[in-house]
Amino acid sequence: MELWTIEERDYKGKRVFLRVDFNVPLENGVITDDTRITAALPTIKYLLSKGACIVIASHLGRPKGKVVPEMGLQPVRDKLSSLLGQEIKFAPDCVGEKVKKMAEKLKEGEILLLENLRFHKEEEEGDENFAQQLAALADCYVNDAFGTCHRKHASIYQITKYMDSVACGYLICKETQALTKLIENPQKPFLLILGGAKVIDKIGMVKNLLDKVDTIITGGIMAYTFIKAKNWEIGDCKVELDAIPAAKEIIKEINKRHLEFHTPLDHIISDRIAADAHFFATDRGTVPNNWIGVDIGPQAIEEYVDCIKRAKTIFWNGPMGIFEIEPFAKGTIEIAKAIADTDAFSVVGGGDSVAAVNKAGVAHKISHICTGGGASLEFLEKGSLPGIDVLKK
């Protein structure tokens, strides 16, 4: 995929509109995880080194087109200023005459952070006029917000129609290279690890990868949906009923291709979802009535670790159970550690999976960690994204 990159453009003395994904978790106005901010630093530093001044734009949360003070980007400004060791100017809005004047006054090496794009409903609507107003703030456009590239939002898609120079930042470059490696000639055996919920959102990705993968292992609601599709007992486990027809279709395709496909051999089951709940391991792959599956069992862990050891390429999306609750975290943590111990090319996508590798303390041993769960799934399903397409040569 030939994309315009920042190293192929001239930024000396120019204003750059840099779209980033600073959608960070906040608690009482304090950022609890700055991963998305640090991920954009290489692109910001490169642009500054080339003599640019930067207008940075991002969304945060879902304010639904209204000004919600708790979702303001002031804490992001403070964190970014601290990480870069320089003052960051802050605009009270992302469009309007006042903002435009602030952008025009920027000198080489200075940064202006705009207020939350989603305080305007026109951002998510992909409004052309709004996109033009954003484009008027700068001379060049750089996108490094991979996690939002699957949306045709004004600052991601429409804005490029009004800019002469467009390019992707280092983060988008890394993301597309890693995911393209999974689609085009992955080293065999290729292992797909599917967990968590939102089963229906992952079906397209699974279908697209069936010709490429050798082994599939499942956990969480994903596993219970496939187990239900096999007409096995799942007790009171959470399951996505609307995804069962698609799960049955995928099982047929898997059998047709003679792929290795695993649902858990055993489960950790609980009488309720709480840290002090009564729980134990089942001795087989079904769940009795009135019990909830909360993690994969010890036999499943052993079998899944063996699959991981044999793999040369791994894509993992979704935890094996309710790993946020300590007694139900073992399966997910063991999977994370097993992936970290292999020499395989490993990609982890999805917020919960990323949280799991961080919790296991093995994030540094994963080949690539995706910054956008939904975007990575759609990329693996379609081979590109709307926000990537507009950056192609």
Residues tagged active-site = 36, 198, 351, 374
Candidates 182, 116, 106, 189; CA nearest to 155 is: 116
| Cα–Cα distance for residue pair 213/262, rounded to 1 Å | 13
Could you tell me if 65 and 124 are in contact, meaning their C-beta atoms sit under 8 angstroms apart? yes
**Cα–Cα distance between 180 and 241 in angstroms, integer?**
32
Q: How, if at all, do strands 279-281 and 267-270 pair?
A: antiparallel
Calculate the CA dihedral of residues 9, 10, 16, 18 and round it to 10 degrees: 30
Residue 205, helix vs strand vs coil: helix
- 20 vs 41, 144, 192, CA distance in Å? 10, 5, 29
Hey, how many other C-beta atoms are within 10 angstroms of the C-beta on 272? 12
C-alpha to C-alpha distance for 249 and 232, rounded to whole angstroms: 16
- The residues with which 174 forms a beta bridge, in sequence order, are none
In this structure, are residues 229 and 248 in contact, taking their beta carbons and an 8 Å threshold? Answer: yes
C-alpha span between 78 and 128 (Å, rounded): 31
Asked if 113 contacts 76 with a C-beta cutoff of 8 angstroms, the reply is yes
- In single-letter form, the type of residue at position 323 comes to F
Find the helix or strand (DSSP H, E) in which 178 lies: helix 170-183
Cα angle 337-186-315, degrees, rounded to a multiple of 5: 35
Q: How far is CA 263 from CA 222, 286, 324, in A?
A: 9, 10, 21
Q: What is the DSSP letter of 3?
A: B
CA within 13 Å, CB half, 123: 23
Phi, psi of 293 (to 5 degrees): -75, 125
CB contact at 8 A, 66 and 29: no
| Helix, strand, or coil (residue 194) | strand
